[in-house]
Amino acid sequence: MINKSEETKKILRLLSRANLTRQQLNQHLRIRVSTLQHIINGLISEGVIAEPGRHSARTGAKAHELSINPSCGNLIGIDFGATQTRVILSDFNGKCIAQYKGAYGGIKEKSAGLEEIFSIINQVQQEHPELWGKTTGIGFSDPGPVNPLEGISLQANNILNWKNVPVEKIFSEKYNLPAALISASQAKGLLESYTESKESQSLFVADMGKGVGAAWIYHGEVYFGSTYTGMEFGHTMAAESGAQCVCGKRGCLEAEVGSGAIERKFKARLADGAQSSLRGLPVTAETIILAAQEGDSTALDTIRESAHLLAKSLSYVIQMINPEKIVIDGMIAQLQDKLISLLLHHLGDYCPAQTLARTKITCSLHDEFASARGAALWVREKLLYRK
């Protein structure tokens, strides 16, 4: 017997990734045409999906694509970053309507961080009262591992007192809206998977910032792991007896190639007498990457070292899960082809040719609001079919 509820979820899942005609949906689902038409017509009457151009059930008419209705509601996406908070207001398909940045920089603390988010949402309410009135959910991307089933942030090493925080409960009770929690790296992975929906069924995203995270999206599903701490890419061993990591271990990938590590290693080269156009100037990971783009030899040497360690860690990913595509996200992704060339050079030393042959590696083209956008898409999935 057909379970209409489950078939409805399947339809919404398919349409959340790509626009499809009724015929294409039928090819995916293989259910009775009358059942499919009944479900689709019901979703259209509810305003959940749209079928622009179709005005009758006439046979022989041009097939029109169905899509999730962008006017179904608005979404809030929050990126609670370790150094800056970003918030977006989007339509129901994740298209940004407005975006905001918090002023709170540096090391954050739980209560001050939450108050900053509340003040930004208050700003959204004041500036867009009509749009806020149609808001249907709040998505929250967290800088550390999360339990998405219970809506609890497990721990964020870079935020004081941020441990076992009931994020979904806090936001759903304060704003009387459904809330959904996901890690920042997984939010970026989700956004990339929507971008790549017709291209890659297995997608690995390496999120390279001050912290280093990752996401694995397999056939549209975010992988969390049995204790929701899977894909802790930044805390895999990159260099034995390496630098101290915020997690307490030594030699973690995050401690060796994160933005803080890039700054530390570049400054060590300067202290040893290396020449650079940045000597005497304020040095940050961003200025080092910019200098590398412009051919600064010391900056390039620092990036080469980071690329070598990153490639070594990626080789384990490639050989274990053999993804169709790897996307590098974060500040270092600004190097684009230069970074990809370095990674491929080193991966050739670590991976058998057959495992590397069909893995495409690119750098993300999304902006700094990627995690916030991914969080908005995550709560949309919860509203549509992750009840």
pLDDT tens, residue by residue, 300-335: 999 999 999 999 999 999 999 999 999 999 999 999
Picking from 339, 276, 271, 279, the residue whose alpha carbon sits closest to that of residue 310 is: 339
Query: How many whole angstroms separate alpha carbon 183 and alpha carbon 188?
Result: 9
Q: Are 248 and 255 in contact (CB under 8 A)?
A: no
303 membership: H or E segment, kind and range = helix 297-321
Q: At what angle do helices 4-17 and 370-384 cross, to 10 degrees?
A: 160
Query: How many whole angstroms separate alpha carbon 265 and alpha carbon 278?
Result: 14
For the chain, what is the largest distance between any 2 Cα atoms, rounded to a whole number of angstroms?
78
Contacts 24+ apart (CB under 8 A), 280-287: 284/259, 285/259, 285/260, 285/331, 285/332, 286/331
Phi, psi of 263 (to 5 degrees): -65, -45
Q: Which residue has the tokens 């750098």?
A: 363
Least confident of 26-30, 115-119, 252-256: 26-30
Cα-based angle 284, 315, 307 (whole degrees, multiple of 5): 20
The pLDDT, as a whole number, for residue 52 is 85
**Can 73-190+370-384 and 200-363 be said to share one CATH topology?**
yes
Spelled out in words, what is the top-level CATH class assigned to the domain 200-363? alpha beta
Q: Which residues contact 340 (CB under 8 A, 6 or more apart)?
A: 328, 361, 362, 363
Report the DSSP beta bridge partners of residue 217. 203, 222
Picking from 247, 224, 234, the residue whose alpha carbon sits closest to that of residue 157 is: 247
Least confident of 12-16, 106-110, 184-188, 220-224: 106-110
Spelled out in words, what is the top-level CATH class assigned to the domain 73-190+370-384? alpha beta
Ranges of beta strands (E only) in the chain are: 49-50, 67-68, 74-80, 85-90, 96-101, 108-109, 135-142, 146-147, 152-155, 159-160, 163-165, 179-183, 202-208, 212-218, 221-222, 325-330, 360-363
The pLDDT, as a whole number, for residue 166 is 97
The pLDDT, as a whole number, for residue 150 is 94
Mean pLDDT of 236-243: 90
DSSP type of residue 48: S
Which one is the CATH code of 4-68: 3.40.50.2300, 1.10.10.10, 1.10.3720.10, 2.40.110.10? 1.10.10.10
**Side chain identity at residue 354, one-letter code:** Q
Tokens of 19: 């626009």
The ranges assigned to domains in the chain are 4-68, 73-190+370-384, 200-363
What is the total residue count of the chain?
Answer: 387
Average pLDDT taken over every residue of the chain:
91
Q: Are 227 and 119 in contact (CB under 8 A)?
A: no
Q: Which residue has the tokens 């626009």?
A: 19
Residue pLDDT, tens place only, 114-171: 999 999 999 999 999 999 999 999 999 998 889 999 999 998 877 889 999 999 999 9
The pLDDT, as a whole number, for residue 2 is 60
Residue pLDDT, tens place only, 45-82: 999 999 987 655 554 456 789 999 999 999 999 999 87
